[in-house]
Amino acid sequence: MKIAFFSNSYFPITYGSTVSVENFRLGLEELGHEIHIFTPNFRGYKYEVKNIHLYPAFLFGYKIKYPIALPYFHKIREEIKEGEFDIIHAQHPFSIGVDAMKIAKEENIPLVFTHHAKYEDFTHYVPPIIPQKLLKYIVRSKVRKFANNCDVCISPSETTKSYMRERGIKARIKVLPTGIDWQKFQEGDREGTRKKLGIKADQKVIMFLGRIENEKNIMFLVGEIFPLLKKDKKIVFLFVGEGSLMNEIKQIALQSGILEQLIFTGIVKQSVVANFYATTDIFVHASLTETQGMTIAEAMASGLPIVAVKASGVVDQLKDGETGIMVDQKKGVFGEKITKMLSDSVLANKFGKAARRKAKEYDNKKRSKTLESVYLKIKK
């Protein structure tokens, strides 16, 4: 089949939706399909994949750098018409996603949509022109209308499917978590990466990977983990990612006398991300807004003990007390669980080994084969 992925985000941005697009691209191509990516042009970035179609775009700089496409680009429509595509797969319900829907209707091509995020929880990225309450209502309405006009919707988890139904989405929903390259996460360079980061052999590393923003519940992590750093100078908190809260976090750390125990790497390429998991001793996750939480699957594949806040996406992957620890957002409890993991290597190893075995279920080949079957059913 010839498949068009329409995505508002792609490299060099490394959000969960980007990783999903890339993993499914690789998996479907391995199955013999031809994948084309339609995405905004991130000026200055050199794209290394074939079959990429770039919308003209401007760089949006409110809180984060994000390319916003100029839709209705005539060249894109011509490329779709000439390409004779079998499937259009929209990764987002806004901007390029709207264009994808219009093109699918015009060309009578089946349309698939992946519900990657709880979009109403991301309205703080929009400048405060419209009141947040009204903006959230608008977003919910537009997402519902978009999804109900698709041939099939992909939900990354069962909890997200329930969320979609609660929001009035009545279209057919297929639950399909994004797959991972399990083997890649067995090959991370622990010693080399720790040396580059200046981490000593006797130091323990707690890692967060993702956007350093409010929707990731970052300040909760700060409140739970910073006291641990203050008590034990041999603990390092590794932030892999970037975001608007970085300066605030550094200021709090400076006042607490633990700034030297924080490491900020910025955004790292997917090709080396396994090295940072390998560097880590405990992986932490506190987001309440995930639809799947790709980093959970990656941390599991890396054999890491995980401490996470019990929330959507996480509960679909972790088994509390077996492949990780999930806690309610009660002050002090999260930090206590981390302390237990750090002090009990036998327990930490037990969780890590169980998580690694469980993560094999997320093998990208298996997930891509399932997506292929979804396409084939709607193409008939």
- 222 and 306 inside one domain: yes
Does residue 270 share a domain with residue 226?
yes
Q: Buried b vs exposed e over 224-242: b needs ≥16 C-beta within 10 Å?
A: bbbebbeeeeebbbbbbbb
State whether 223 and 125 are in the same domain.
Answer: no
The total number of residues shown for the chain amounts to 380
Q: How is residue 379 annotated by DSSP?
A: H
- Helices marked H in the chain — which ranges? 16-30, 74-83, 96-107, 132-148, 158-166, 190-197, 218-231, 246-256, 273-279, 294-301, 333-343, 345-359, 364-379
Closest CA to 208 of 288, 289, 306: 306
Burial (CB count <10 Å: 0-12, 13-18, 19+), residue 84? exposed
Q: Residue 133 contacts by C-beta under 8 Å, 6 or more apart in sequence?
A: none
Tokens representing 228? Answer: 């641990």
For residue 241, give the DSSP letter: B
Cβ(371)–Cβ(31) under 8 Å?
no
> What span, in angstroms and rounded, lies between the C-alpha atoms of 76 and 53?
7
pLDDT at 70: 84
Residues 98 and 6: their CA atoms lie apart, in Å, by: 10
Residues 171 and 35 reside in one and the same domain: yes
146 and 219 in a single domain? The answer is no
What is this structure's pTM? 0.93
User: Which tokens hold the place of 87?
Assistant: 């499937």
Same domain, 175 and 309: no
> What's the confidence (pLDDT) of residue 380?
66
In a shared domain, residues 233 and 168: no
At 234, the amino acid letter reads K
74 pLDDT band, cuts 50/70/90, is confident
Q: Which residues contact 273 (CB under 8 A, 6 or more apart)?
A: 209, 240, 298
- pLDDT higher than 90, residue 178: yes
The half-sphere exposure of 72 on its side-chain side, counting CA atoms within 13 A, is 0
Query: How many domains does the structure of the chain reveal?
Result: 2
CATH number at residue 138: 3.40.50.2000
Q: Please state which of the ranges 119-133, 152-166, 298-312 shows the lowest mean pLDDT.
A: 119-133
Cα torsion 165, 168, 174, 177: sign: negative
354 and 367 part of one domain: no
CA distance 272 to 92: 26
Cβ atoms within 10 Å of 268's Cβ, excluding its own = 14
Whole domain around residue 148: which residue ranges? 2-179+363-379
| Whether 220 and 355 share a structural domain | yes
pLDDT, position 81: 84
> Same domain for 20 and 155?
yes
Q: Are residues 117 and 201 in the same domain?
A: no
**Do 204 and 304 fall into the same domain?**
yes
Residues 6-34, mean pLDDT to the nearest whole number = 95
Look at residue 303 in the predicted model and tell me its pLDDT. 98
Band of pLDDT at residue 128, cut at 50, 70 and 90:
confident
Quick: pLDDT tens for 201-255: 999 999 999 999 999 999 999 999 999 999 999 999 999 999 999 999 999 999 9
The DSSP string of 79-146 is HHHHHT-SEEEES-SSTHHHHHHHHHHHHT--EEEE--S-GGGGGGGS-TTS-HHHHHHHHHHHHHHH
Asked if residues 269 and 184 have their Cβ atoms less than 8 Å apart, the reply is: no
Averaged pLDDT, 346-373 = 96
Report the C-alpha gap between 176 and 6 in whole angstroms: 18
What is the mean predicted confidence (pLDDT) over 182-210? 97
Using the 8-state DSSP alphabet, how is residue 207 labeled? E
